[in-house]
Structure 1
Amino acid sequence: MTEVSQRAREENVSLVRFLYADHGGIIRGKAAAAARLAERIESGIGHTRAMMAMSMMDELQPVEGMGPIGEVRIKPDPNTFVTLPYAFGAAAMLADQVNPDGTPWDGCARTFLKQAIADLAAEGYELQASFEPEFTLGRREGAELIPVDESLCYSATGFHLAHDYIIDLVAALNKQGLEVEHYYPELGHGQQEVPVRHATALRAADNHVLLRETVRAVAIRQGLWASFAPKPLPDQAGNGAHLHASLWAGGSNAFIDPSGQFGMSRLGYRFLAGVLAHLPGLVALTCGSVNSYRRLAPSMWAGAFGCWGPDNREAAVRLCSPIGAAGSVNLELKPSDSTGNPYLALGGFIYAGIDGIRRSLDPGEPLLVDPATLSSSERTRLSVVRLPASLSEALDALEADSLLMSALGPLRSTAYLAVKRSEAAHFAEKDAAYECFHHWMKF
């Protein structure tokens, strides 16, 4: 606390934002005045429990224990303190929501990921992860998002047209300790991809929140708009946030076995099998919006079928070839986007993988073709299942998944289902233009 307070003074910080991700996938928070920062780090900022029952449309859902009675504290993690290079006088910390006595609150998403990390540690492993986010850069004109370009995928023209924005963005990310790995203009009009270096699971989720905030903020300050919505433009390629992950033990990648199939260990295949076993319900957490399922469709390179394969970008789980070193062997979960709460998404992913390890599950044979090219009988024979085609279907699968529901706990699972079912009902009565507008505005 002392170090953070001193940094705030030295860096002329007036307000420090305490940020969290809600069940609707929206980044929210409150800000503490720097003069009282030390005591606010200690006590947190008072907050109504009801906010974790709020949908992306700011419609409060009737969830017992998340009404007008009762309080939590937004308690920041001092290890996450960053001065915001795009907002003079402001800094931020990622926060947990805790009970007034300081004990963990079972409605907090960040706490859920901490619990998953602890359970994985009990098995002897640590997860390294990173999200690989795509977003659409454009200009807001009323209810329309006009992309900054119509360039081709990976084209040099795309680099030129987004250059000034991207250079400012990379500088802002690096100043916050988010090491940019690479950048390129993607397939869709105005679509950009800027992944940052992998980290331990909690830091990876924190990084994704900071990245989302930075991408949007730098755009606003340049008179632009940036959206992580899965399908902000219905006729363009969707924005994913592919999840890359591997297990580590004793400083080594536990997914590696040079003698194993495709160089992956038996442990890696068991973890993979657990993810596949729970994937229909898991996508309710990793693809957390109605708009997600416009992207999660066959032949969209989004992983719409529950299968795996080495470098198969149409499979839900891709076994990635090593890049530069064997230590880079990892799994890529393709049905994942930035409308999912990253703490819930990553926590659910870990619990699914743990289940595969504990039950010694087998993922079956790899798929070496696009699953959409197979006949329905071939897919049945190969146990290749179509993942949920709507948020409602995904929520039904989540509710039927006893392991994920138990891991989430009664309050968190009840609130999540209530919030997401309300969003599904809200958009069911609206057209595509209304849906896309509200998603590109809010994500």
Structure 2
Amino acid sequence: MTDILRRAREENVSLVRFLYADHGGIVRGKAAATARLAERIDSGIGHTRAMMAMSMMDELAPVDGMGPVGEVRIKPDPNTFVTLPYAFGAAAMLADQVNPDGTPWDGCARTFLRQAIAELGADGYELQAAFEPEFSLGRRDRADFVPIDESLCYSATGFHLAHDYTIDLVGALNKQGLEVEHYYPELGHGQQEIPIGHATALRAADNHVLLRETVRAVAIRHGLWASFAPKPLPDQAGNGAHLHASLWSHGGNAFADPSGQFGLSRLGHHFVGGVLAHLPALVALTCGSVNSYRRLAPSTWSGAYTCYGPDNREAAVRICSPIGATGSVNLELKPCDSSGNPYLALGGFIHAGLDGIRRRLDPGQPLLADPATLSSSERSRLAVARLPASLPEALDALAADSLLMSALGPLRSAAYLAVKRSEAAHFARHDVGYECYQHWMRF
């Protein structure tokens, strides 16, 4: 507390934003004035429970316990304090939503991830993770998104055209402790990718929220618009946020085994088995919008089938070859994008993988081809199934998955399903142009 107050004074901070991600995948929050910061760190800021029943369209879904009656507190985590380099006078902290007496509220998404981490820790493991986000950079022209360029994938021209923005973005990320690992112009028009370093699970989700906010804010200050929407332009490549993860125990990577198939340990294979077993339901959390399912299609490198393979970028779960040390082996979940709540996505991923470890699930044979090129009989023989092709299909799979529903709990699961079903119903009444517009505006 003392350190935060000192930094706020020294860095001329007037307002500190308490940020959280809701069930619609939107980053929301309230800001505390620096003069009241000590008090608000202790007590949190009052907030209606109903906000976790709000959709991405600001439409309130009917959820028992999330109506006009009831109060929670947006309580910040002091370990996440950062001064915002793109917003002079402002800082931010990631926040939990707690009951007025300070106890965890069972509608809070960040608390869900905390609980998943604790359950994983009880079995002796810690998850290291990082999201690998893609986004589209362009300009708003009334209701149209106009990409900044039409350059080719990884082309030098793409570097040139986005250079000034990118240099400012890298500087803003690094100043917040978000270590940029790579940057490159991607396949779609105006599409960029900027992965940051891995961290423990909670920090990884926090980092993704801060990254999303930084990408958008720096773009606005350049007179540009940045969107993480899965499919902002129907005829261009979609934006994913591939999830990279590894389990650690006793200081070592528990997924790494040089003698194991593809360098992956038996425990790692069990984890894959759990993820595949729950993946049709899990994508309701990792691909959390109607727009997600325009991206999640066969032969688009989005992982549209329940399969895994070594460096197979069409498999839903890719075993990544080690870079440098053999202990760097990790898993990449392809069907994941930034329209989902990162705390729910990562928490669900942990629960699915842990179930695989506990039940010693066999992931089956690895796939060394694009599953879309196989015949239906070959896919059936290999237990390779098409993932849900729409948000309603994914929500039905989630509702039928007893493990993930139990982990989410009665209030959180009811609210998530209600919010997402309301979004699906809303966009079913409109055309693709309206859908894409609403998503690139909000994500």
Q: TM-score range by the shorter chain?
A: over 0.9
Q: Please show how residues 177-326 of structure 1 align to structure 2 within 5 Å.
A: 177-326=177-326
In structure 1, distance between residues paired with 2:58 and 2:259: 53
Any idea what the Cα deviations from partners look like across 1:155-193, whole Å, max 9, x if unmatched? 000000000000000000000000000000000000000
Q: Please show how residues 38-437 of structure 1 align to structure 2 within 5 Å.
A: 38-437=38-437
Any idea what the Cα deviations from partners look like across 1:373-417, whole Å, max 9, x if unmatched? 001111001000000000000000000000000000000000000
| TM superposition shift of 1:427 | 0.3
| TM superposition shift of 1:258 | 1.0
Amino acid corresponding to residue 151 of structure 2 in structure 1? S
| TM superposition shift of 1:12 | 0.3
Amino acid corresponding to residue 402 of structure 2 in structure 1? S
In structure 2, distance between residues paired with 1:328 and 1:128: 11
In structure 2, distance between residues paired with 1:383 and 1:180: 38
| TM superposition shift of 1:283 | 0.1
Aligned counterpart, 2:441 = 441
Q: Secondary structure at the match of 1:362?
A: coil
- 5+ unaligned residues in a row in structure 1: which ranges? none
Q: Secondary structure at the match of 1:306?
A: coil
Any idea what the Cα deviations from partners look like across 1:115-139, whole Å, max 9, x if unmatched? 0000000010000000000000000
| TM superposition shift of 1:7 | 0.8
- 5+ unaligned residues in a row in structure 2: which ranges? none
| TM superposition shift of 1:325 | 1.2
Any idea what the Cα deviations from partners look like across 1:212-235, whole Å, max 9, x if unmatched? 000000000000000000000000
Amino acid corresponding to residue 41 of structure 1 in structure 2? I
Q: Please show how residues 7-26 of structure 1 align to structure 2 within 5 Å.
A: 7-26=7-26
In structure 1, distance between residues paired with 2:232 and 2:262: 37
| TM superposition shift of 1:323 | 0.7
| TM superposition shift of 1:153 | 0.1
| TM superposition shift of 1:327 | 1.9
Amino acid corresponding to residue 24 of structure 1 in structure 2? G
| TM superposition shift of 1:2 | 1.5
| TM superposition shift of 1:95 | 0.1
Any idea what the Cα deviations from partners look like across 1:358-387, whole Å, max 9, x if unmatched? 000000110000000001111001000000
Amino acid corresponding to residue 310 of structure 1 in structure 2? P
| TM superposition shift of 1:328 | 1.2
Amino acid corresponding to residue 131 of structure 1 in structure 2? F
Q: Secondary structure at the match of 2:162?
A: helix
Amino acid corresponding to residue 122 of structure 1 in structure 2? A
TM-score of the aligned structures, taking structure 2 as reference length: 1.00
Q: Secondary structure at the match of 1:38?
A: helix
TM-score of the aligned structures, taking structure 1 as reference length: 1.00
In structure 1, distance between residues paired with 2:166 and 2:323: 24
In structure 2, distance between residues paired with 1:256 and 1:314: 22
Any idea what the Cα deviations from partners look like across 1:335-375, whole Å, max 9, x if unmatched? 00000000000000000001000000000110000000001
Amino acid corresponding to residue 222 of structure 2 in structure 1? Q
Q: Secondary structure at the match of 1:384?
A: coil
| TM superposition shift of 1:3 | 1.1
Q: Secondary structure at the match of 1:40?
A: helix
In structure 1, distance between residues paired with 2:422 and 2:62: 10
Q: Tell me how many residue pairs correspond in the alignment.
A: 443
In structure 1, distance between residues paired with 2:131 and 2:326: 20
Any idea what the Cα deviations from partners look like across 1:232-255, whole Å, max 9, x if unmatched? 000000000000000001111000
In structure 1, distance between residues paired with 2:255 and 2:318: 14
In structure 1, distance between residues paired with 2:40 and 2:190: 40
* Structure 1 outlier segments of 4+, above 6 Å: none
In structure 2, distance between residues paired with 1:192 and 1:239: 9
In structure 1, distance between residues paired with 2:227 and 2:215: 9
Q: Secondary structure at the match of 1:315?
A: coil
Q: Secondary structure at the match of 2:30?
A: strand
Any idea what the Cα deviations from partners look like across 1:22-54, whole Å, max 9, x if unmatched? 000000000000011011000000000000000
